[in-house]
Amino acid sequence: MFMRSLRNQLMLGFALVTLVSALVTAVLANNRADETFRGYLAQSQALDSGIVERLAQFYAAQGSWENAAGLLLPGHPNGMNGMGGLGRGQNGFMGGSLALADAAGRIVANPGRITNNAVLSAAERSAAIPINVDNRTVGYLLAHTPRSAALPIAGERFLANLNTSLWTAGLLAGMLGLALGLLIARNLAAPLGLLADGARRMARGHFNERVPIAGPREVQTVAHAFNEMAATLESAELQRRRMMADIAHELRTPLTVIQGNLRALLDDVYPLSKQEVATVYQASLGLHRLVDDLRELSLAEAGRLNLDLQAVAVAPLLEREAAFFAETAASRGVGLNTAMIPALPAVQADPERVAQMLRNLISNALQHTPAGGTIMLGAELNNPAGQAQIRFTVDDTGNGIAPADVPHVFERFYRADKGRARETGGSGLGLAITAQLARLQGGTIGVSSEPGQGARFWFTLPVEPVSAAHAVTISEQAASKG
């Protein structure tokens, strides 16, 4: 159970890594310090013994290092023993050995076999004692004391104190690593714990849950994503509740009409006549249209709506829809006109669905345009990022849309006028269906409006793939429009 905690795992991991690093560093530092200290003592004793001066005198007299190997042997009269050496080991100091190299670094005498190289390496040359004659270096003396050789009491004490300091530093580093590991583990585990608690509360239906942004950058990124997800889920839940309430309200209106009229017929309040039956039938048609709209919207949102994509001519489509609504617009005293650029290319779309989109937008415009107003249907070439599109527009001269309502006009059941009657305002699904149809056909949709100055609804559809020559014509039309 203890090791299942992320905090404990991180804490122990930091402590182990720090301890192992400290131990390895202490061992390496101890070996290096011992080797360096023994080399220092060997060089010091070699310098104190006078062998360097003897070797310089030998070279000055001989002019070369020939037969100089004997000087490094203990029994030679001019060697270490003959110069008052300490009488220890092969060369008379701490059981150490000596090696001699010429000015080029080539080994000329190596009785103790302290190096296996024929020429001194760069490290060995830097550690060797230079032998100078007439202000020039004529050779190098390399002194070495093996680890098995005994050191003076002062030297042994120095190395013991050094080792104690290294091990103490390693222990302190391990304790510091443990403390830092605990701190880092807490900083990392605490935000993750908050995320887990927030996820549990969201699972219980608290979609307003948010977590604080804390911890390392990666954990903060997760917290941001969690809050964004929570906001999306909260919005979806609110929309679901609102949609359920709207559906219930929409269904209640025709059902109330049907139920009330049937009850009146059964109680002989109304005579059993075709007129009363027609009233019930009209209410059932409204109920049927609502169910069809809901089904169509759900299919469109799921991407399961069947589309018959083909080349659709723009001008005849707009003219046909304008003629379809001409009588309705005239009865309301609203002018309905069309305006489009000549010779527009065809769009790749489903003609029935495009007609449905235009009818939804025109119906919406008619509901919000007072007598004496005008509705204008338009189409123009749109060429964003080199992708040719046709932009369909429906402009009205109504009261416009409040800025707070503009982002929501394509939501299901949304009405800017909350008090508008259902009979005159529709089910509130037409614009939502239009938006989904535009998306399914590879287009976009939008609205722009200023209160009191009318509104413009628009959607785009991709141009039908054409030949290279026709593509040049389309580009020229777009350039002339720009």
On the CB side of 196, CA atoms within 13 Å amount to: 7
Q: Tokens for 410?
A: 């394509």
**Confidence (pLDDT) at 74:** 63
The answer to whether 207 and 239 have CB atoms below 8 angstroms apart is no
State how beta strands 455-462 and 445-449 pair: antiparallel
**Confidence (pLDDT) at 274:** 82
**Confidence (pLDDT) at 278:** 84
Tens of each residue's pLDDT in the chain, 482 residues: 445 566 677 767 777 777 777 778 777 877 777 777 777 777 787 787 788 888 899 899 888 888 888 777 765 555 444 333 333 444 444 456 788 989 998 988 887 777 788 888 888 888 889 999 999 999 999 887 766 666 677 777 877 887 888 778 777 877 777 777 777 777 777 888 888 888 898 888 888 889 888 877 888 888 899 999 999 888 888 877 877 777 776 777 778 888 888 888 888 887 878 887 888 888 787 778 778 877 887 777 777 778 899 999 999 999 999 999 999 999 999 999 998 888 899 999 999 999 999 999 999 999 999 999 999 999 998 876 667 899 999 999 998 898 888 888 888 777 665 544 444 455 678 888 899 999 999 999 999 998 888 999 999 999 987 543 344 444 444 444 44
**Amino acid identity at 141:** L
What phi, psi does 296 have (nearest 5°)? Answer: -65, -40
Helix (H, G, I), strand (E, B) or coil at 60: helix
Query: Residue 367 to residues 292, 361, 402: CA-CA distances in angstroms?
Result: 21, 10, 16
**Confidence (pLDDT) at 335:** 95
**Confidence (pLDDT) at 109:** 87
CA proximity to 456, closest of 354, 361, 314 = 361
The CATH T-level fold of domain 310-481 is Heat Shock Protein 90 (3.30.565)
Rounded CA gap, 329 and 316, in Å? 19
For tokens 């060697």, name the residue.
Answer: 79
The CATH T-level fold of domain 217-302 is Helix Hairpins (1.10.287)
The answer to whether 209 and 198 have CB atoms below 8 angstroms apart is yes
CA angle 86, 51, 146 (to 5 degrees): 55
Per domain, the residue ranges of the chain are 2-153, 217-302, 310-481
User: Taking the alpha carbons of 420, 422, 428, 434 in that order, is the dihedral positive or negative?
Assistant: negative
Helix (H, G, I), strand (E, B) or coil at 216: coil
Q: How many CB atoms lie within 10 A of CB 19?
A: 17
Helices 6-49 and 51-62 pack at an angle, to 10 degrees, of 60
The answer to whether 159 and 34 have CB atoms below 8 angstroms apart is yes
**Confidence (pLDDT) at 355:** 93
